[in-house]
């Protein structure tokens, strides 16, 4: 039997198929341009050549139907019948205060997720559409919600409350929630293994570095602070999101440009960050390569990005207690070495030193690598985050009744004998 994981964005759906018994990855794919016309699906199966099928016009419902059909396709599929899928895991960006761990989806849970969609409308709307579609096409199997926010439910009130009228928190849920929970969970468990310490004894700073970027301060294995806030807009500089700015800018520019709140929100989410500074919509590798080649505005954007990351690391050093390690995800490939160098440069006074050659030699982004220099007091790792495996693990735990809190669950990837994808046995 198999576990299907689904992550729905506005215009694409990523999916992975795992064996239920040992959580081996059997297939991975993506449906792109959902709702835009000219949609297509690409699927990869270990040991086979990837293939692509044009799909025409798709909404989320027909895109999920296409995924199920492709997985069971006689020529390109991996299963003989959709009924072999025994459970489906859905990444859900926002769980508010109600969901502190992964949960099986029923009508009550789905209604609760719907009531929270105003806290992250850009993400929650497609998340809900994917759940509804999958429950329609696979009605006989359990569906499980894995909440991005759940890992950060351990934050103390002093970290998650904003200095705003308290009634805003009571009546409207205005508080810090944090995101990228599966990524930070995976990084913390793998760092624990590499450090040779129980996760409950580990103090870490984990850095999810991709299209969206967030940091997490982890003390004794649990999140005590994180850079994203009530929405994924707060925090460090991202590809198209501004991160932290003076809140007075919102009202000022709305007056100057006669913008509606929705227009301002779109500008801050979709036309700011690296895209705003450079004036270009570049993918991550294009941006980094342009910065390394000396493009003035790309170089400036990289300086701003790494400066903000460094500031967050400094502030989190103050609240984690004695730090064991800083953990980076692999980001977007070969050129990320420069980001790590710029972020950690100048932190030698804290006992953080990078082994330059090991850092620059890291190219594939598939292996776990330590890049700590000799004599450093705080270790530094680069670890590819496997969010899909976290989702599959949580699905298996929830449907078996073994899962209530991530702090008590024995994840397979938290064991010393686990071999991450891309590593050599």
- Which sequence positions are flagged as catalytic? 148
Read off the DSSP letter of residue 267.
H
Q: Which of 239, 371, 374 shows the shortest CA–CA distance to 305?
A: 239
Nearest-10 crossing angle of helices 296-320, 284-292:
110
Q: Which residues pair with 222 in a beta bridge?
A: 219
Give the integer Cα–Cα distance in Å for 349 and 115.
Answer: 47
Give the integer Cα–Cα distance in Å for 235 and 225.
Answer: 11
- Buried b or exposed e, range 120-159, using 16+ CB within 10 angstroms: bebbbebbbbbbebbbebbeebebbbbbbbbbbbbbeeeb
Q: What is the token pair recorded at 249?
A: 């800018």
Q: Are 124 and 92 in contact (CB under 8 A)?
A: yes
Give the integer Cα–Cα distance in Å for 382 and 424.
Answer: 16
**Greatest extent of the chain over all pairs of C-alpha atoms, in Å:** 60
Question: Which ranges constitute the DSSP H helices of 93-211?
Answer: 107-115, 121-137, 157-160, 166-172, 181-195
If DSSP codes are grouped into helix, strand and coil, which group holds residue 178?
coil
Long-range contacts made by residues 271-279, C-beta under 8 angstroms, separation at least 24?
A: 271/240, 272/240, 272/241, 272/242, 273/237, 273/238, 273/239, 273/240, 273/241, 273/242, 273/243, 274/237, 274/238, 274/239, 274/240, 274/301, 274/305, 275/239, 275/240, 276/240, 276/242, 277/301, 277/304
Query: CA angle, 268 as apex, 262 and 270 as ends, to 5°?
Result: 90
């Amino acid at each position: 039997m198999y576990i299907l994981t689904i992550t729905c964005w506005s215009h694409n759906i990523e999916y992975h198929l795992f064996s239920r018994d040992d959580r081996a990855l059997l297939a991975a794919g993506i449906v792109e341009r959902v709702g835009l016309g000219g949609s297509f699906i690409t699927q990869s199966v270990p040991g086979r050549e990837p293939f692509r099928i044009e799909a025409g016009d798709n909404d989320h419902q027909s895109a999920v139907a296409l995924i199920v059909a492709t997985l069971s396709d006689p020529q390109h599929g991996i299963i003989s019948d959709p009924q072999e899928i025994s459970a489906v895991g859905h990444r859900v960006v926002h769980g508010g205060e109600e969901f502190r761990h992964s949960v099986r989806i029923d009508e009550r849970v789905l209604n609760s997720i719907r009531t929270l969609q105003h806290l992250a409308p850009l993400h929650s709307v497609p998340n809900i559409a994917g759940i509804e579609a999958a429950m329609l096409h696979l009605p006989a199997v359990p569906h499980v919600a894995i909440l991005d926010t759940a890992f950060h439910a351990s934050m103390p009130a002093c970290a998650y409350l904003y200095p705003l009228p308290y009634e805003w928190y009571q009546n409207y849920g205005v508080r810090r929630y944090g995101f990228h929970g599966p990524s930070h969970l995976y990084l913390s468990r793998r760092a624990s293994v590499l450090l040779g310490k129980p996760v409950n004894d580990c103090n870490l700073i984990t850095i999810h570095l991709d299209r969206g970027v967030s940091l997490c301060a982890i003390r004794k294995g649990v999140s005590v602070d994180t850079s994203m806030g009530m929405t994924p807009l707060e925090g460090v500089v991202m590809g198209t999101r501004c991160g932290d700015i003076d809140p007075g800018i919102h009202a000022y520019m709305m007056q100057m440009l006669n913008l509606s709140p929705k227009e301002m929100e779109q500008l801050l989410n979709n036309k700011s960050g690296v895209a705003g500074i450079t004036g270009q919509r570049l993918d991550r590798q294009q941006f980094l390569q342009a910065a390394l080649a000396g493009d003035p505005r790309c170089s400036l954007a990289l300086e701003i990005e790494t400066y903000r990351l460094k500031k967050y690391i400094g502030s989190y050093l103050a609240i984690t207690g004695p730090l064991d390690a800083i953990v980076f995800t692999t980001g977007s490939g070969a050129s990320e070495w420069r980001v790590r160098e710029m972020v950690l440069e100048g932190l030698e006074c804290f006992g953080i030193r990078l082994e330059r050659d090991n850092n620059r030699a890291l190219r594939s982004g598939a292996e776990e690598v330590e890049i700590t220099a000799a004599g450093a007091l705080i270790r530094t790792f680069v670890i590819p985050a496997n969010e899909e495996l976290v989702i599959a693990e949580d699905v298996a735990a929830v449907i078996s009744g073994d899962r209530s809190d991530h702090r008590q669950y024995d994840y397979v990837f938290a064991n010393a004998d686990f071999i991450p994808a891309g590593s050599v046995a």
